[in-house]
Amino acid sequence: MAEHAVEARDLARTFDDGTGIRGVDIWVAAGEVHALVGLNGAGKTTLMRLLLGMLKPATGTITIAGQNLDHTDWTAVGHLVDYPLAYRELTCKQNLALGARLRGVTPAAIMNMVEAAIAELHLTQYADRRAGKLSLGNRQRLGLASALQHDPRFIVLDEPTNSLDPSGVILLREALLRRVEAGAAVLVSSHHLDEVARIAGRISVLNAGRIIGTLDPHGVDIERAFFDLVHSDDVAA
């Protein structure tokens, strides 16, 4: 078994405007939540896209469950990056069933899986509503349900609490903790430091495309510690 569920070494990918990531080392262990925080433009989404094979790195290596991305079992991965992908003309149930099929779930298991996902994210009253008619918050819940319904072993969520109301945030927190307790590895980015501190075992700070340090999830004033770390890095640059 691989020591880390996910591991990246010396990862770099920059763009013409100078943004991107540079020399990033990061890993996520099975059974933990690793949070990634940073200001807008720090490179969080780029890093997540690289880990998911959506972008190719200029340098560096990535392994998931000990395998490089060419040999990764993508049915064991769940993700929501940027915004939830759903066919507007399909209902919640239909979108979830399609997502399950694309992840290799057997037809016999799809119905029970979809029903469980709808119940977990409290989408029951919207189950037969077309995705295009959902509010932003419920569309986000649908995207999260699709990412989590097959109980992936590696979960990547980029700003997952966007558009969620407080009850949705709590439902997501509980859903992630259940999967972590079952051994899943979770990488999550967020601007909400207080929320990630509730679930994260480790918090890495990304600034200008580099990981510049870590925060203590149990720290007294985590927000101040974050801004002090970013400010010190900016001054030293």
pLDDT in tens, 36-54: 999 999 999 999 999 999 9
Q: What is the pLDDT of residue 3?
A: 64
- The model's pTM: 0.95
| Sign of the alpha-carbon torsion through 19, 20, 26, 27 | positive
Q: Which residues, including other chains, have CB under 8 Å from residue 6's CB and lie 6 or more apart?
A: 26, 27, 28, 51, 62, 63, 64, 65, 154, 185, 187
Q: What is the pLDDT of residue 191?
A: 85
Average confidence (pLDDT) over 15-29: 95
Per-residue pLDDT of 123-181, as tens digits, reads: 999 999 999 999 999 999 999 999 999 999 999 999 999 999 999 999 999 999 999 99
**Domain at 6-236: CATH code:** 3.40.50.300
Q: What is the pLDDT of residue 214?
A: 97
Q: Dihedral (C-alpha) 117, 121, 124, 130: value to the nearest 10 degrees?
A: -80
> 33 forms bridges with which residues in the sheet?
186
Two structure tokens written together for 50: 């690289």
Q: Is the pLDDT assigned to residue 2 strictly greater than 80?
A: no
Q: How far lies 145's CA from each of 62, 115, 213, in Å?
A: 26, 10, 32
Q: What is the pLDDT of residue 7?
A: 96
In angstroms, the CA 159 to CA 44 distance is 10
Are 63 and 27 in contact by the 8 Å Cβ rule? The answer is: no
Q: Is the pLDDT assigned to residue 204 strictly greater than 50?
A: yes
Q: What b/e string do you get for 17-33 counting C-beta neighbours within 10 Å, with b at 16 or more? A: eeebbbebebbbbbebb
Element (H, E) at 9: strand 6-14
Are 25 and 8 in contact by the 8 Å Cβ rule? The answer is: yes
Average confidence (pLDDT) over 70-96: 94
In angstroms, the CA 91 to CA 27 distance is 36
> 11 forms bridges with which residues in the sheet?
24
At residue 80's C-alpha, the angle toward residues 78 and 85, to 5°, is 110
Two structure tokens written together for 131: 């995705």
In angstroms, the CA 160 to CA 203 distance is 16
